[in-house]
């Protein structure tokens, strides 16, 4: 029963993290629309936050023993990380 309670607590923490990161994405999207020509590094931050959401979702799926969702979340996380690195190279360097 302890393992189940621990998984539930970690799941709640991850839910809170995902909600906070989702709010951050909305704020970043508004800032990008308002200042797109001035501050292109926000694209990199946006993609990085999206990558964090996918990683948190993968961790939560792994804890819940949902193998398909875990694998799909990891694949999406890898793609999002590639987009983050690409946007860093394009917009920052």
Residue 4 half-sphere exposure, CB side, CA atoms within 13 Å? 1
Task: Give the mean pLDDT of 17-46.
Answer: 85
pLDDT for the residue numbered 53: 92
Residue 22 half-sphere exposure, CB side, CA atoms within 13 Å? 8
CB 92 within 8 A of CB 47: no
User: What pTM did the predictor assign?
Assistant: 0.81
Q: What is the pLDDT of residues 49-82, one digit of tens each?
A: 999 999 999 999 998 889 999 999 999 999 999 9
Q: What is the pLDDT of residues 34-56, one digit of tens each?
A: 886 677 788 888 889 999 999 99
């Amino acid at each position: 029963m302890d393992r189940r309670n621990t998984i539930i607590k970690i799941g709640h923490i991850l839910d809170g993290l995902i909600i906070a990161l989702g709010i951050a994405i909305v704020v970043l999207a508004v800032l990008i629309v308002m200042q797109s020509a001035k501050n292109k590094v926000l694209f990199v931050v946006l993609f990085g936050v999206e990558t964090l959401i996918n990683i948190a979702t993968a961790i939560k799926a792994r804890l819940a023993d949902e193998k398909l969702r875990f694998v799909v979340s990891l694949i999406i996380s890898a793609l999002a990380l590639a987009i983050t690195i690409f946007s860093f190279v394009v917009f920052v360097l």
